[in-house]
A and B are shown apart, each in its own frame.
Chain A
Amino acid sequence: MYQILKKRRLSENVVLMEIDAPYVAKKAEPGQFIILRVDEEGERIPLTIAEYDREKGSITIIFQEIGATTMQLGLLEEGDCLHDFVGPLGRASELEGLKHVAVVGGGLGCAIAYPQAKKLHEMGAEVDLIAGFRTKDIIILEDEMRAASTNLYICTDDGSNGNKALVTDILKQQIESGKKYDAVIAIGPMIMMKFVCLTTKPYDIKTIVSMNSIMVDGTGMCGGCRLTVGGETKFACVDGPDFDGHLVDFDEAMRRSRIYKPQEQAAIEAHKAHCNLLKMEVK
């Protein structure tokens, strides 16, 4: 069993949890992910590793309560245990040799962009971290991101933090102003990653994206996470999750990520109904 050592709510429905998982913590690197099950009957969900502490033997995950399983996970408290927690899965991000990097995070993707920025920063690279959120209230990890970057740019879709812009606007400004990036690392919603790639393409800047596809086992067995990269079928779990963004077929990947939308919606309704029932019983 894998105990929850720490739980922190980062915004209304984004939660950080530090999990006791010494085997995973021993080898984890930025870019890798874990798969967990909340209880014995639970579904397997992949989450990218936000932070690891080798000494303490812990892994930090950050998730949005967006589906039935993440909502159930969000109900757990410090001291509670997860039934299963396996990893580290996937290939670690290849960060060696990068000197000037723009790391672009979108929403919850910032939780995954942050460890990459941190590692690069620690390795002595100059890191411009561009973080986009829908609105001011859901900005997460601001202090952490500031500490992990040379320059931090936070923008919001609605301008509520005083900087109304899209991450692609800021990225383009930086490139136009003469910044020479060895690479751009983009992590966030697929649509954001797609547009970051379209932004960097004309400048021929290597752009790495992190594909968090639907998967079951996370070890290459199911093939559910397959995507087309440069015309070839790749598995996000074993060939990725990082890919050359200029080669990824984002339109297909976005369609594939929607396959279980109706079932997910039904599961959320069922979860909410179940929670309401519990509340009524308490009364």
Chain B
Amino acid sequence: MPNMSPVKNPIPEQDPNVRNKNFLEVSLGYDEATAVDEAQRCLNCKHRPCVSGCPVNVQIPEFISLIAQGKFLEANAKIKETSSLPAVCGRVCPQESQCESKCVRGIKGEPVAIGRLERFAADYAMAHPTDETVEVPTPNGHKVAVVGAGPAGLTCAGDLVAKGYDVTVFEVLHTAGGVLMYGIPEFRLPKAIVQKEIDTLKAKGVKFVLNFVVGRTETIDDLFADGYEAIFVGSGAGLPNFMDVPGEGFNGVYSANEYLTRVNLMKAYQEDSPTPIYHAKRVAVFGGGNVAMDAARCAKRMGAEDVYIVYRRSEAELPARAEEVHHAKEEGIIFKLLAAPLEVLGDDDFHVKGVRCQNMELGEPDASGRRRPVPIEGSEFVLDVDAVIVAIGTSPNPLIRTTTPGLDTNRKGCIIADEVGATSKEGVFAGGDTVTGAATVILAMGAGKKAAAAMDEYIQNKNK
């Protein structure tokens, strides 16, 4: 008999006023009893609508049923059949707009907490390592390259190595993981978890070459000359956009990328980190997406007293996940909605001393379907801050685009790829943010997965 509770089991969290001073994980995860109880809310629908909402087709009712039976390791193995990063997805996927949005239980009440259960299974498996050695697939004799060790690249590499390919991942930074390492903060996604997922790929035979800039150290064509038969480009959308308002050159103005990279990847949150960061007292974050929430919550934890989110539309249009907005508010982040920055103000030392903003109201819908923000005359005000973090999006890096003849890109600089990742250049596949522009971890993983299948087919056909 299923558990007919209309609401999800809540997930325990650190108290907001404690956690906004540390970098430990916010959510503490289900214990075994809670996980079993939540798993029993699943109706095990025959038509499995939830699976259709998952970009990597996790076998959701099956793994949840295993949790309900107390078979936690088996549940994790079931997830791993289609997803290479379950502990990551359980934490950062926007389940509310994917699997959980399709859950039948969500029609009358809250959907099954699929994300929390996925996280539980993955964490349980990590905490209970088995003696079983990792199954190393039989080599098929073909060499493939993956450019970028972010979510798209890791997924693609995982699927290809499982098919027996000799896979090498080239990463520009000194650590694999991409945005999972440099962008998403420790308190939302502990780096030890990402590292474990990467170590699993290594154990399966994936080779990682760090400190390697494809486009500079070697080009895509050089890689083909080195004997790679197909190449997946998952280089992300790493170039930060700025507002182009006056004063962005003042000291104390960061891109979210720079701020988060200093804090997360370079560990500036630890006192003995040699990487410097400006410890601001009052911070304005421009933007309303997940990255803006991450930056604001990091700034708070770095000791800022007042942290503002400055966003030109209203709460309903915030692109961030509702959960992130909720967490940010709980932690004391102040939302200045319907406000647009006009100018960053600097002091005599050319350091930020404030932001001049203007209130907005919503007018007619624009091309994106969202109501256009319209300035309200005479509504200017100044926010007194000593640092600004610009989190208004990123664009693809030009390095590969400009050094790969025959690789078509669009007006925005994104690589053009079809639904399975094939590009205009033979043997080159692409997916993730470098194709779509900045999006989510799970969409990038889905693209990496599709491309891996397409690369396999391409190589098999070529060698017939």
Contacts and interface: CB of A to CB of B under 8 A. Distances in A.
Interface of A: 23-24, 26-27, 37, 41-44, 68-69, 83-89, 216-217, 219-224, 226-228, 233, 235, 238, 249, 252, 255-256, 258-260, 263-264, 267
B266 A220 contact: no
Interface string B146-183: 00000000000000000000000000111000000010
A87 B239 contact: no
Contacts of A267: 274, 276
B174 A220 contact: no
Q: Tell which of B267, B275, B349 has the most Cβ of chain A within 10 Å.
A: B275
B44 interface: no
Interface of B: 172-174, 182, 210-213, 216-218, 238-240, 242, 244, 248-249, 251-252, 254-255, 257-258, 261-262, 266-267, 272-278, 349-350, 397-399
Nearest to B173: A217
27 contacts: A26-B217, A27-B217, A41-B267, A84-B174, A84-B210, A86-B172, A86-B174, A86-B217, A87-B213, A88-B216, A88-B217, A220-B238, A220-B397, A221-B261, A222-B262, A233-B242, A238-B239, A238-B397, A238-B399, A252-B249, A255-B249, A255-B350, A256-B249, A259-B278, A260-B278, A263-B276, A264-B276
Contacts of A255: 249, 251, 349-350
Return the 4 tightest CB-CB contacts between A and B, nearest first.
A222-B258, A86-B211, A263-B276, A223-B255
Given A217-B172, A224-B254, 18 more contacts: A27-B218, A41-B267, A41-B272, A43-B266, A43-B273, A44-B275, A84-B211, A86-B213, A89-B216, A216-B262, A219-B238, A221-B258, A222-B240, A233-B244, A252-B249, A255-B249, A259-B252, A263-B276
Contact of B172 (A42, A68, A219, A260): A219
B18 to A, nearest CB: 27
A62 B174 CA distance: 22
Nearest to A86: B211
Contacts, number: 118
Task: Identify whether the interface residues of B are mostly helix, strand, loop, or mixed.
Answer: loop
Contacts of B248: 233
Contacts of B172: 86, 217, 219
A221 B172 CA distance: 11
Contacts of B350: 252, 255
A238 B395 CA distance: 14
Given A84-B210, A256-B251, A221 B276 contact: no
A130 to B, nearest CB: 30
Given A88-B216, A233-B248, A221 B238 contact: yes
A222 B268 CA distance: 15
A27 B216 contact: yes
Contacts of A88: 213, 216-217
A238 B235 CA distance: 15
Nearest to B396: A220
Contacts of B249: 226-228, 233, 249, 252, 255-256
A85 B399 contact: no
A43 B349 CA distance: 26
Contacts of A222: 240, 255, 257-258, 261-262
Contacts of B217: 23-24, 26-27, 86-88
B262 to A, nearest CB: 6
